[in-house]
Amino acid sequence: MTVGLTPPCPGAKRGSSTTDARTGTGHNGGRPQARRFSLEEPVSELLRGYGRRALTSFVRGLVQIVLAYTVNLPLFILAVLSLAFIPLGAGVVMVPMVFQTIRSIANQQRAWAAEWSGVKIPVPYRPEPEGKGPFRRLGWVLTDPASWRDLLWTLLNVPIALVLGILAAGMALYGLEGVFVAPWVAMVADYGWGPFWTLDDYGVVGIVGSVVLGAGLTAAAVPLGPAFLKVHALFCQSLLAPTREALTERVQRLTETRSETVDVSAAELRRIERDLHDGAQARLVALSMNIGLAEEMMKHDPETAQKLLAEARESSGTALTELRDLVRGIHPPVLAERGLDGAVRALALTLPLPVDVQIDLPGRADAPVESASYFAVAEILANVVKHSAARRAWLQIEHSGGRLLMIIGDDGTGGADPAAGSGMRGIERRLAAFDGTMAVTSPPGGPTVVTMELPCALSSPKISPSSETG
pLDDT number for residue 132: 65
417 is a domain residue = yes
Domains: count for the chain: 3
Is the confidence at residue 191, as pLDDT, over 60? no
Residues 260 and 204 in one domain: no
Helix/strand/coil for 192 = coil
Confidence of residue 274 (pLDDT cuts 50, 70, 90): low
pLDDT number for residue 350: 84
Domain termination residue (choose one: 207, 240, 273): 240
Neighbours of 421 (CB within 10 A): 13
Residues 231 and 98 in one domain: yes
pLDDT number for residue 463: 42
Residues 124 and 57 in one domain: yes
Mean pLDDT value across residues 113-127: 87
Per-residue pLDDT tens for 388-425? 888 899 999 998 878 899 999 998 888 877 666 657 77
pLDDT number for residue 466: 38
Helix/strand/coil for 440 = strand
Q: What CA–CA distances, in Å, run from 461 to 114, 137, 362?
A: 21, 37, 6
- Positive or negative, the Cα torsion across 21, 27, 28, 33? positive
Residues 156 and 235 in one domain: yes
Q: What CA–CA distances, in Å, run from 112 to 98, 228, 444, 458?
A: 21, 14, 42, 18
Residues 338 and 193 in one domain: no
- Amino acid letter, residue 96: P
pLDDT number for residue 263: 65
289 is a domain residue = yes
Is the confidence at residue 282, as pLDDT, over 90? no
- Cβ(325)–Cβ(363) under 8 Å? no
Instruction: Sheet with 403-410: list strands edge to edge.
Output: 355-360, 393-400, 403-410, 448-455, 437-441
- Positive or negative, the Cα torsion across 38, 43, 46, 52? negative
Note down the domain range covering 321: 253-327
247 is a domain residue = no
Residues 261 and 404 in one domain: no
pLDDT number for residue 427: 82
Highest mean pLDDT among 3-12, 155-164, 186-195 belongs to: 155-164
Highest mean pLDDT among 173-187, 239-253, 396-410 belongs to: 396-410
Q: Which of 413, 412, 396 is nearest to 404 (CA)?
A: 396
Residues 175 and 285 in one domain: no
Strands 393-400 and 355-360: parallel
pLDDT number for residue 395: 93
